[in-house]
Every structure is written in structure tokens, then in C-alpha cells.
Amino acid sequence: MKTVIALFCLSLATIANISCAQTESLASAAQIKFNIIAERSHKTSLFTQGLEVKNGNFYESSGLYTKSHIVSYPIAEPESTWAKITAPFTQKQRIPDRYFAEGLTLLNNKLYVLTWQEGTAFVYDANNFSLLKNLNYKGEGWGLTNDGKRLIRSDGSNRLFFHNAENFSVEKTINVTYQQQAIHNLNELEYAESFIWANIWHDNRIVKINPATGDVVGVMDFSAIAKNLTLKDAESVLNGIAYDADKKAFWITGKQWPKMFLVEIER
């Protein structure tokens, strides 16, 4: 999720150990089969932290200190290769340099954007990206989604926090587990079809979570997709999942990925 040594005091060996343990733990989880039904380009300048789809547009937050911002752009992309590369965003709003932007969600025409270690959530008008207010919270901010009423935040652990959308007070916390083993490094989130879907940092899988119990009830594995991409570096990990209600499918991408994929779950 962050630059491993400089920005996050967690060694590659520790990440590997956690990932290895979780790989073994999740090996017996129900595998959710899917088909790629569309793909499009994705700007590699975007260090994707949060992704949303609404009214034919993507809303995306991009991280890193001094480079954080939020953008919107249409799902339909230009036909020419040159236009795909050079087409400007519909809207763009910089986040102040001292903040590291994280997860993003859209609720009641407001964009909520977390920050990593600054304990601040920014609330923007989705129409024009004007800042409406700031909200404060304790702990780290990683991923963000909503269930139509409450905001749901991850902090890199196996916990998910349900926040009041008006004042960001914590109303509920769940621990995410599979067969009683904690599933750590929960990152970008999406709420769809009455479940929470979560990226796992430095892992090519997305887990499907029961929001009432925290139990992992299924896994989508995108290793084959990631393997076929030319990626910038080790931090160009799978991160970004947005449910397209019109198509009843998920858009997925990653940090600095050159592509986005629309995947339909096999029913």
C-alpha cells in the first residue's frame, strides 16, 4: 500500500510471512469464478487508493505525499491511443501536500476521502469537488466504502470500522476472519450485493465478507491478470474495486496499473 521501507515500518519479510500464512488459510475458501467482459486504459500516474463508479463516471483517489489528489473521468474512453493517454480528467482536486490520500467513497452526492496517518477525512461535493468539511478519526485510514447509511473503513489490520456519515463516530467494529483466523492487510473496500469486498495489500485476491459477522465467504483471485501486466514496481499492487450497478459487474485495477478490467461473477 505504501512505499514499504520509507513510508511503512513493515519489512518485506513480514509482509511475505503474513501473505504466506493467509494464502494457506484462504486456500480452502470458496473460489468465486468470474469472466472479464471489458477492459479499458488506466493512467499509470494514479497511485490508486479508492475507486467508485456512478452515473457513467469513475471517481478515484490517488495517494503519496505531495502528490495526492482525487479525480473523475468517464467510463467510456476515447477511441484513439493518443487520446487515451492525453485525455484530461473531467475533474481533479489536489489534496494538501502534508496528507497522504487513501480510500474514497461516494454517499449522498458527497465524496469522502481518508488520509493515511493524519486522522482526517475530507468531504467534497461530488458535483464540483469543492471542500465541504473535514472529519477527524483515530487510527490509520486505508480503504473506505459505505452500506448506504454508514461509512466503512479499513486500517490495514483485520478490523473494519462502521462510521456515522455525519460526524464519523464509530458505531460498530467487526473482525474479519476465515475459519477463525484473522485476515490482515485489508485495504480498498467496496460494498455490493449486501457484502463487503476487500483488497488485501500485496495480494492478488479480493475477499468477500459478511458484514454482520466479519466471516470471509469467498475469494476472487486476480493473479492471472496481474501476471500479464507490465508494472512499474513492487508497489504497483492490485488495489481498486468498484461495483458497476448498471452492468452488475466489478471494475478492478491497481496502483499505477495501465489497465482496468470489468469482471462479471459467474452465477
Given a contact cutoff of 8 angstroms between Cβ atoms, the answer to whether 225 and 253 are in contact is: no
- With vertex at residue 111, the alpha carbon angle to CA 106 and CA 117, rounded to the nearest 5 degrees, is 110
Cα distance between residue 109 and residue 6, in whole Å: 36
The DSSP-derived string for 187-243 is EEEEEETTEEEEEETT-SEEEEE-TTT-BEEEEEE-HHHHHTS--SSTT--EEEEEE
Grid cell listed for 70: 482525487
CA-to-CA separations, 252 to 39, 185, 226, 260, in angstroms, rounded: 9, 18, 11, 6
Helix (H/G/I), strand (E/B), else coil: 154: strand
Question: What average pLDDT score do residues 140-162 get?
Answer: 97
Instruction: Output the pLDDT for position 21.
Output: 56
Cα distance between residue 252 and residue 74, in whole Å: 15
Phi-psi region of 171 (alpha: psi -120 to 50; beta: other; left: phi over 0): alpha
Q: What is the mean pLDDT of the chain?
A: 91
What is the biggest distance separating any 2 CA atoms in the chain, rounded to whole angstroms? 50
Question: What average pLDDT score do residues 248-252 get?
Answer: 97
Residue 259 has pLDDT above 70, yes or no: yes
Backbone angles phi, psi at 92, to 5 degrees: -150, 135
Residue 99 has pLDDT above 90, yes or no: yes
Instruction: Output the pLDDT for position 3.
Output: 45
Residue 133: Cβ within 10 Å count: 10
Residue 219 has pLDDT above 80, yes or no: yes
Confidence of residue 80 (pLDDT cuts 50, 70, 90): confident
Strand ranges in 6-68 using DSSP code E only, listed in sequence order: 34-41, 48-54, 57-62
Question: What average pLDDT score do residues 118-136 get?
Answer: 97
CATH fold of the domain at 12-265: Lipocalin (2.40.128)
Least confident stretch, 2-11, 65-74, 206-215: 2-11
